A = this chain, B = another copy of it.
Amino acid sequence: MSEGVVTETGVRARTRRAILDAAIETLTKQPSATLADIAAAANVGRTTVHRYFAERSDLIEAISHDALDKISQSTQRARLDDGPVPAVLARLCQEYFEHADIFQLLFTMPDLVTRPEWAEESDDDRRLMRLIERGHAEGSIDPAMTKEWLLQLLWSLLYTAWELVRDKTPKHEALTLCLRSLEKVIAVG
C-alpha cells in the first residue's frame, strides 16, 4: 500500500500487461471476442480481468492508449528532423512495421480510431505533417502527393505489407515492397 496508483509495479503491473497483450492479440483475431476469451488467452480468471478493468469499455480504452503510446514511441525513435525526408520516411516505416499487433488491430477494430483520443490531431500527426511539408519545400517529395494522401497512404502500405506477411510472405520481403513503393510514390517527376 506504500505506492500510489501512479506507479503500478511488480505483480500487478505484470498481470495488467498480460491481460492487455492477450486482449490485443485476441481482439485482432476476433473483434467480437468475449471477455472470457481474453481472460483465457491471458491465462487469468475472468474475475481478474474485471479486477483490473471494471468494464469492457475500460479495457478498450486501455488498449487504445497503449496503441497511441507505441505509435508515439516509434515516431520518437524515427527522429523526424534528422536527415533527408525520403530517408526519414523509410526509417519511420521500419519503426512502425515492428508494431504488427497494433496495425492489425486498428484495421480490425475501426471503433478504436473513432475514439476521442484519436479524433484530435496528435503531436505525432503534426510532426509528420511538417516532415512532409519539408519534403515538399525541399523538392524531395512529389508536390502532387498531398499531405493528407501520403499520411493515409503510409498506414495503408504498412497494413498491406502485414497482410502479405499473413499470407506467408517473408517479413523482410514485405517490408522491402512497402519501402520501395513508398519511395516510388513520393519520387518527383
Query: What is A's interface to B at a CB cutoff of 8 Å?
Result: 31-32, 107-108, 110-111, 142, 144-146, 148-149, 152-153, 156-157, 159-160, 163-164, 167, 169, 174, 177, 180-181, 184-185, 187
Contacts and interface: CB of A to CB of B under 8 A. Distances in A.
B160 A148 contact: no
Total copies of this chain within the assembly: 2
Nearest to A30: B111
A31 B145 contact: no
B145 A181 contact: yes
A157 to B, nearest CB: 7
Nearest to A104: B110
A177 B159 contact: no
A111 to B, nearest CB: 8
The 6 closest A-B pairs by CB, nearest first: A156-B160, A156-B156, A149-B177, A152-B160, A181-B185, A184-B184
A187 B167 CA distance: 25
Contact of A169 (B110, B148, B159, B187): B148
A177 B146 contact: yes
Contact of A148 (B32, B144, B167): B167
Contacts of A144: 177, 180
A99 to B, nearest CB: 18
A160 B164 contact: no
Contacts of A159: 156
Contacts of A180: 144-145
Contacts of A169: 148
